[in-house]
Chains A and B, each alone.
Chain A
Amino acid sequence: MDRPAAMTRTRLAASILLTWLLGGCTDLQSAISPAGEQAGQLFSLLQLMTWVCGIIYALVLVFLGWTIVRVWKRASADEAPLVDPADRGLSRSMLVWGALIVGGLTLLITASFLTDRHLASLPSKEVLRVRVTGHQWWWRIAYRDPATGRWIETANELHLPSGRTTRVELGSSDVIHSFWVPNVAGKLDVIPGRANSLDLTPHRIGWFRGQCAEFCGAQHAHMAFDVKVESPADFTRWLAAQARAAAPSTDPVSARGAAIVTKGACAMCHAVRGTPAAGRPGPDLTHVGSRRSIAAGTLTMSRGALQGWIANPKALKPGTTMPAVPLDGADANAVAAYLESLK
């Protein structure tokens, strides 16, 4: 067998293995693929710590390995045990080892403190305020409409202007949750009875994902949200679109769906601005069709997903508070068409 071919094959196998291991990793929700100022700072701190800790671990390995090699030959010696032998050299080495640990710790404590201070003192002029409320198991998100000053609601999808600091004001309507968008910043708990706020300064445009990080009950696993970082101009356009009331339905199928949603059981829990539906317990649906996913990141948005979700939410997300809505095929289709049209 010729060598280069074998080498190529090995390299190919290695790269396939690596792709399988890490390539699946989509960077959508990752602390080691920072897309924001805060996450970037923390990633640098992580790298420093990994280096320092790696060196310490290597030293321990060398000492242990050397020891085993050194004493292996003596292992069969059948002499009497030593009681309190003189260890002058080892005692001195211990002091050096202690000094090394103290030095390393001082470095890391200082670095940690400086990072923390830097994060706390990031310029906070012109911050954009966003209210995020944790619910079992979804996120209510509210922006202030710059035109009218009113709060406008959406759910499970956070839009952030790139290059600007957004201050997320966290609240909980029930139990403790934790708000975490690892690509942009570290997490912060969402605690009933406490006001926490977290600054996010993203600088890479794209889609990311956040997820609840504090166990909050049966569907803790399905309490995610999409994060879109976009240019300030795109963000302004998006916000203006969100501020508008729902457009009236034009085609007959959607209109039938609108009637069911806004006059039926859905309106008990959901709001569609510009219609009689004004329920508060569930997510605002005014522009649900513009969102990327439904049910807090459980399903990708599509008409089929909407139909499936409405027909039997507990099959997709056992424990959810959303009840199954008994609709015949035509009505289910109409409702899904209407919701999808709410762009």
Chain B
Amino acid sequence: MIALPTPRDAVQRRARLEQTWADPKGVWGFLTTVDHKRIAARYIVTVIALMFLAGMLALHMRLQLAFPDLKILGPQMYNESFSLHGSTMLFLVSVPVMEAMAIWLVPLMLGQRGMAYPRLAAFSYWLYLGGVTMLWIPHILGITPDLGWFEYPPLSGPGYSPGHRADIWAQMITFTEVAALAASVNIVATIIKLRPPGMTLARMPLFLWAMLVASLMTIFALPAVMLVTSMLISDRLVSTHFFAPAGGGDVLLFQHLFWFFGHPEVYIIFVPAVGFVTAIIETFSRRTIFGHTALVLSVLSIGVLAFGLWVHHMFAVGLPRLGNAFYTAASMAIALPAGLQIFCWIATLWSGRPRFATPLLWVVGFILTFVIGGLSGIMTASAPLDLQLTDTYFIVAHFHYVLVGGAMFPLIGALCYWYPKATGRMMSERWGIIAFALIFGGFNLGFFPMHILGLEGMPRRIYTYSPGMGWGPLNLIATIGSATSIVGGLVLVANAWISRKHGTPAGANPWGGSTLEWWASSPPPTYNYEYTPVVESIAPLWTAKDGLPVMTGAGVERREVVVTSAIDAVPLYRQKGASPSIWPLVAGIAVTAMFVGSIFTPWAVVWGVVPIGAALTGWFWPQRPRARTGPLARRAV
């Protein structure tokens, strides 16, 4: 039996923890921090800036298409715009923002003081930032990739795309994906090994399941695209013939590898959204989620099925019909888990005691739009019908419904939901509703007509059309709608910006949430939690009536996290966490230099190894004592 600390001890203890976990002051601290909250915040700020830029590109394209035969953007500028818009949104926004949410939330939701690999988290951000600059600085210099976010050869091969535009795209992908892999490995390790005592797999909130599955999918899917972009650049740089039909290569190999990544990618973006929606619905319905097991199974089955349907992006290439029929069935089958999820969410609201606030509004908006995207997905999954739909505006409408309605709306809901936790302030509800109305209304006005445009024969990626085609009116409506939703986006960001200083103070648990992150103060201190919480149910903050039981023993003098067993979350040992370090940044710069150099000469890959090796040597220079097993005791606070 350990004595309870006196209040004075508690103050001293917190001061000591603060001292242990604080970053160095000033710029040095900014460059060396390994605090998961700071890293995630950086990711999110970068993502918001990129969304603004890519949104401006979208608006520019919509203006060009508002009327027939406009000359606002020429073909070159238009092709650059949609290439940059797509590449940015998919590679630099959607996937990283989900990782950022995980990096910020997972340790908090696990009652931990940090990630499993804090320096790796810092490294993945710096590398991601390298990818961002690699795409956008060339854009400023006027060497923008102009062949779409997919860059099919032979169009992207050396014969038809001289210059460095395609190289920039290929290497940007390769190394953004290295960053994504680093982040995913970190998230998986954290969820599996750093769960608090008592949080068995059965008691793990769905959000963590979603992040676990999405990260595992990332680990399996991304190597395919890294391989394919590396093959492309070696065709371009060292004259291999992977995709050159004249040299015995096969252009379809590119499409297979690209979509083997590209389709799971959609679910890598969507599955975290399932986690957001579930967390929001549970809190605002004030009941534990209906069908927890069904939801976990649905997420797992989506994670598996997602790898078996990439060919539905290739129905028009002329593959054997029987194979196509298989992919039709597999693609449609995914509607079953997705449909059950929708049921579970509505059923939770049905049987709960809901409280309506902006995050829940976003979830309702999500259901209304995402279901349309899912149903149009069923249509495009049909191999014969897809021949009329693929590469038309119907598809543009479909995937915006899925990615914006299905992932961005939950993401915005999640940002509103966890905003008070991150900043300690509430966002304005009134402006939240205005932003929702503008974004939701504008989005649907902008994208629903595109279904009809596609059926009326308007292909994708055309920079203009003649008045005789009759596509003008619906395009004008689409432009008005998109512009409206961009205004809504600005209102949303302004609301968040202003509320940071002027919102009402939130307190630790403003929404009455059940999961552990609401146990930390808002905003959480550098060390997150003074004690490691012990979890006894799936909704720990709702069931522990007299305060959450905690476990002592995690050190205050040095950075320590508690490692538990993978399934039953039995405490195993204390792991010394990494301290702030400049090496992740140095390594990030070295890798960036290697990738940028590889655009100009293949020898950069060879010589680039030297600075990377030096940086990694510095990073891993042994200095830490081994992990300690020490007294880990449980008590009530």
Which residues of A are interface residues toward B (Cβ below 8 A)?
20-26, 28-32, 39, 41-42, 45-46, 49-50, 53, 56-57, 60-61, 63-64, 67-68, 70-71, 74-75, 77, 79-85, 87, 90-91, 93-94, 97-98, 101-102, 105, 108-109, 112-113, 115-117, 119-120, 136, 174-176, 178, 180, 182, 185-189, 191-194, 196, 209, 211-221, 318-319
Cβ 8 A contact of B464, one of A90, A102, A211, A221: A221
Q: Which residues of A contact B294 (CB under 8 A)?
A: 94
Residue pair B457, A221 in contact (C-beta under 8 Å): no
Q: Which residues of A contact B252 (CB under 8 A)?
A: 191, 194
A-B contact pairs, 23 of them (CB 8 A): A22-B470, A24-B472, A26-B470, A42-B387, A79-B353, A82-B286, A83-B287, A83-B539, A83-B542, A94-B340, A101-B335, A109-B328, A109-B329, A178-B316, A185-B387, A187-B391, A189-B316, A189-B317, A194-B318, A196-B317, A213-B460, A218-B76, A319-B75
Cβ 8 A contact of B350, one of A29, A67, A98: A67
**Which of these binds chain A: B370-378, B500-508, B618-626?**
B370-378
Complex alpha-carbon distance, A191 and B286, angstroms: 56
Min CB distance A11 to B, Å, is: 19
Complex alpha-carbon distance, A120 and B148, angstroms: 32
Complex alpha-carbon distance, A74 and B286, angstroms: 11
Residue pair B154, A116 in contact (C-beta under 8 Å): no
Residue pair B473, A20 in contact (C-beta under 8 Å): yes
Q: Which residues of A contact B346 (CB under 8 A)?
A: 60, 63-64, 67
Residue pair B461, A220 in contact (C-beta under 8 Å): yes
- Given A26-B468, A94-B344, A188-B318, are A108 and B339 also a contact pair (CB < 8 Å)? no
Complex alpha-carbon distance, A123 and B255, angstroms: 32
Interface string of B453-482 (1 = CB under 8 A from A): 011110111111100111111100100000
Min CB distance A203 to B, Å, is: 17
Residue pair B154, A192 in contact (C-beta under 8 Å): yes
Residue pair A116, B384 in contact (C-beta under 8 Å): yes
Given contacts A21-B474, A189-B318, 14 further A-B contacts (CB under 8 A): A28-B470, A49-B378, A57-B371, A57-B375, A75-B354, A83-B539, A84-B538, A85-B351, A90-B291, A119-B384, A176-B251, A189-B317, A192-B251, A215-B148
B88 within 8 A of A: no
Residue pair B388, A39 in contact (C-beta under 8 Å): yes
User: For chain B, what secondary structure do more than half of its interface residues adopt (helix, strand, loop), or is it mixed?
Assistant: helix
Give the residues from 519 to 573 in chain B that come closer than 8 angstroms, CB to CB, to chain A.
Answer: 537-539, 542-543
B627 within 8 A of A: no
Min CB distance A155 to B, Å, is: 19
Min CB distance B161 to A, Å, is: 9
Complex alpha-carbon distance, A71 and B335, angstroms: 27
Q: Which residues of B contact A23 (CB under 8 A)?
A: 470
Give the residues from 316 to 367 in chain B that come closer than 8 angstroms, CB to CB, to chain A.
Answer: 316-318, 321, 324-325, 328-329, 332-333, 335-336, 339-340, 342-344, 346-347, 349-356, 364, 367
Cβ 8 A contact of A90, one of B347, B477, B542: B347
Tally A-B pairs: CB < 8 A: 279
Q: Which residues of B contact A105 (CB under 8 A)?
A: 332-333, 335-336, 378
Q: Which residues of A contact B385 (CB under 8 A)?
A: 42, 45-46, 49, 112, 115, 186
Chain A residue nearest to B248 in the complex (CB): A193
Min CB distance A124 to B, Å, is: 15
Chain B residue nearest to A214 in the complex (CB): B391
Q: Which residues of A contact B512 (CB under 8 A)?
A: 81
Q: Which residues of B contact A209 (CB under 8 A)?
A: 457
Min CB distance A157 to B, Å, is: 16
Residue pair B388, A90 in contact (C-beta under 8 Å): no
B218 within 8 A of A: no
Chain B residue nearest to A81 in the complex (CB): B286
- Of listed A24, A120, A319, residue having the most chain B CB within 10 A: A24
Chain B residue nearest to A298 in the complex (CB): B466
Cβ 8 A contact of A74, one of B76, B318, B354, B462: B354
Cβ 8 A contact of B155, one of A50, A70, A182, A216: A216
- Of listed B333, B344, B461, residue having the most chain A CB within 10 A: B461
Chain A residue nearest to B294 in the complex (CB): A94
Residue pair B160, A115 in contact (C-beta under 8 Å): no
Min CB distance A224 to B, Å, is: 9
Complex alpha-carbon distance, A217 and B389, angstroms: 21
Q: Which residues of B contact A219 (CB under 8 A)?
A: 75
7 nearest A-B pairs in the assembled complex, by CB-CB distance: A186-B387, A193-B245, A24-B470, A221-B462, A29-B457, A53-B375, A82-B287
Complex alpha-carbon distance, A82 and B543, angstroms: 9
- Given A26-B469, A116-B324, are A68 and B349 also a contact pair (CB < 8 Å)? yes
B383 within 8 A of A: yes
Residue pair B472, A186 in contact (C-beta under 8 Å): no
Residue pair A112, B152 in contact (C-beta under 8 Å): no
Complex alpha-carbon distance, A211 and B332, angstroms: 29
Complex alpha-carbon distance, A73 and B257, angstroms: 53
B379 within 8 A of A: yes
Residue pair B463, A221 in contact (C-beta under 8 Å): yes
Complex alpha-carbon distance, A39 and B514, angstroms: 54
B190 within 8 A of A: no
Residue pair A178, B391 in contact (C-beta under 8 Å): yes
B147 within 8 A of A: yes
Q: Which residues of A contact B367 (CB under 8 A)?
A: 60, 64
Complex alpha-carbon distance, A218 and B75, angstroms: 6
Complex alpha-carbon distance, A22 and B383, angstroms: 28
B79 within 8 A of A: yes
- Given A71-B349, A94-B347, are A113 and B328 also a contact pair (CB < 8 Å)? yes
Q: Which residues of B contact A56 (CB under 8 A)?
A: 339, 371, 375
Complex alpha-carbon distance, A87 and B352, angstroms: 11
Q: Which residues of A contact B542 (CB under 8 A)?
A: 80-81, 83
Chain A residue nearest to B287 in the complex (CB): A82
B630 within 8 A of A: no
Q: Which residues of B contact A221 (CB under 8 A)?
A: 75, 461-465
Cβ 8 A contact of A112, one of B352, B384, B461, B514: B384
Q: Which residues of A contact B286 (CB under 8 A)?
A: 79, 81-82
Min CB distance A207 to B, Å, is: 11
Q: Which residues of B contact A21 (CB under 8 A)?
A: 473-474, 477
